[in-house]
Amino acid sequence: MAVVTGGSRGIGAAVCRELARAGATVAVNYRSNADLASGIADEIGGIAVEGDVGDPASAKAIVERVESELGDVDILVNNAGVTRDTLIARMSDEEWREVMSTNLDGAFHMSRAVARKMLKRRSGAIVNMTSFVGLHGNPGQTNYAATKAGIIGFTKALAKELGGRGVRVNAVAPGYIETELTTVLSDEIRDFLLSATPMGRLGSPDDVAVAVRFLCSDEAGYVTGAVLLVDGGLGM
Residues that bind ligand NDP (CB under 6 A): 5-6, 8-12, 29-33, 36, 52-54, 79-82, 102, 106, 129, 131, 174, 176-177, 179-182
Distance in angstroms (rounded) separating the CA atoms of residues 129 and 12: 10
Cβ 188 to ligand NDP shortest distance, Å? 16
Cβ 62 to ligand NDP shortest distance, Å? 8
Contact criterion met (CB below 8 Å) for 232 and 198: yes
Q: Which is nearer to ligand NDP, 161 or 206 (CB)?
A: 206
Cβ 178 to ligand NDP shortest distance, Å? 7
The contacts of residue 208 (CB under 8 Å, 6+ apart) are: 11, 14, 15, 172, 174, 177, 230
Q: Which is nearer to ligand NDP, 1 or 171 (CB)?
A: 171
| Burial (CB count within 10 angstroms: exposed 0-12, middle 13-18, buried 19+), residue 187 | exposed
216 in the Ramachandran plot: left (φ > 0), alpha (ψ -120 to 50) or beta? Answer: alpha
Cβ 184 to ligand NDP shortest distance, Å? 10
Within a 10 A sphere around the Cβ of 193, how many other Cβ atoms?
19
Within a 10 A sphere around the Cβ of 157, how many other Cβ atoms?
12
Distance in angstroms (rounded) separating the CA atoms of residues 97 and 35: 27
- The question of whether 222 is a catalytic residue gets the answer no
Q: Which is nearer to ligand NDP, 5 or 142 (CB)?
A: 5
Q: Which is nearer to ligand NDP, 181 or 227 (CB)?
A: 181
Q: Which is nearer to ligand NDP, 34 or 122 (CB)?
A: 34
Q: Which of 30, 144, 176, 222 is catalytic?
A: 144
The contacts of residue 75 (CB under 8 Å, 6+ apart) are: 1, 2, 3, 19, 24, 124, 125, 126, 127, 216
Tell me which residues are annotated as active site. 144
